[in-house]
Amino acid sequence: MAAMAYLAKITLTVAIIVLVSETSNRSLFLASLFASIPIVSILAIVWMHNDGKSGQDIAIFADGVLLLIIPSLICFLLLSYLLRNGWDFYPSLGVGVLATVIAYLIFIRVIERMGWIATQTS
């Protein structure tokens, strides 16, 4: 039974990524819309619920996702800026990802010190 559950999770997740990729061939805006929907977070929340996580655990997860959206924006801002200013794709992506990792590390330390993030689970 567990193997079937994992297979269902993987299949649905891959289908969503393929949907976004294929949609981009027809409409970049529509693909952007699909990609911007918090599908990964929603799926994770559903999987957590189905795996028996408490409402408190899911709330802590949702709080973390909400807070961590802030540093994740750096990747998209830098990628767009660098590509529009003549950089090649992979160097732009690399800088965006590296800057995002650094932003995550800094931001997580800040929100931990401020007591805004709960790291324990039940």
Span 24-56, pLDDT tens digits = 999 998 988 888 888 888 988 998 999 899 999
Span 50-106, pLDDT tens digits = 989 999 999 989 988 888 898 999 999 999 999 999 999 999 999 999 999 999 999
Closest by CA position to 5, among listed 51, 53, 52, 42: 51
Which residue ranges make up each domain of the chain? 54-122
Token readout for 82 is: 């660098």
Q: What pLDDT, on a 0 to 100 scale, did the predictor assign at position 119? A: 56
CB 19 within 8 A of CB 34: yes
Q: Higher model confidence: residue 118 or residue 79?
A: 79
Token readout for 49 is: 């619920």
Token readout for 105 is: 């590390």
Q: What pLDDT, on a 0 to 100 scale, did the predictor assign at position 87? A: 98
The pTM of the whole model exceeds 0.75: no
